[in-house]
Amino acid sequence: MDKDQFRQVVKILEKRYLTGSKPEHVSDVDPFKILVGALLSHRTRDEMTDIAYNELFSRYKNPAELADADVREIAKTIKRVGFYRQKAKRIKKIARIIYGERGGRVPESREELMKLPGVGPKTADIVLSAAFSKPEVAVDTHVQAVAVRLGIASEKAGYEEIKRNITTLAAEEDLPIINHLFVSFGREVCKKPRPKCSICPITTFCKYYQTWVKASAL
């Protein structure tokens, strides 16, 4: 796939999904809330993440309040998400760092974000793209599945390789929206393990469809 083809894929998905609403935990304008929302979302469905996110920030308004909160109370508040006790500890630690050491400001670099407790590449990239509109793309299971089927990455490709391959093909201004587009597409059409190729709008560009689905129909 070349850059022009990838651009066409993005434009097709943009028409279909860009007007759709994003999960609340990545839609706020507050970088700290987006950071906490990304942490809450680990191994948790968006619906449950949004509920926990809203309950948490209805009770604690900012990093200062979370920094002073009892970690057991934080855990009770976010009990709907997976690994809530571990996440509660990390949220409190991060709140202390952001409030106590950084004057309430969330880091704007990938390197600095990944120094925070529990923040890996995916969380850092979500914060950079969603909170700061930086040209980063977060890679999750949906993004990985779509990338592999399009032929952008191999089945064995890791996070950084998939991200690098997408970044090489994508226009810089498209990078902050690619995670949202691919996740929405992956949930509706390009599902794991069985994609709905019969309703897919980008089969023309899809290596999986051209190699396996179309060939098997001949």
Q: Which of 43, 34, 41 is nearest to 108 (CA)?
A: 34
Dihedral over Cα of 209, 204, 207, 215: its sign:
positive
Mean pLDDT rounded to a whole number for the chain: 94
pLDDT tens digit string along 113-157? 999 999 999 999 999 999 998 999 999 999 999 999 999 999 999
Q: How confident is the model at residue 23 (pLDDT cuts 50, 70, 90)?
A: confident
Residues of the chain with pLDDT > 90, as a percent, come to 88
Per-residue HEC secondary structure of 38-64 comes to HHHCCCCCHHHHHHHHHHHHHHCCCHH
Burial 115-146 (b: 16+ CB within 10 A, else e): ebebbebbbbbbbbbbbeebebbbbbebbbbb
Q: How confident is the model at residue 20 (pLDDT cuts 50, 70, 90)?
A: low
- Which pLDDT value is given to residue 99? 94
Tokens, residue 119:
């923040």
**Taking residues 7-23, what's their average pLDDT?**
89
Distance CA 24, CA 190 (A): 23
Of 21-35, 129-143, 154-168, the one with minimum mean pLDDT is 21-35
Domains of the chain: 3-21+136-216 (1.10.1670.10), 24-132 (1.10.340.30)
pLDDT tens digit string along 54-112? 999 999 999 999 999 999 999 999 999 999 999 999 999 999 999 999 998 999 999 99
CA 178 to chain centre: 9
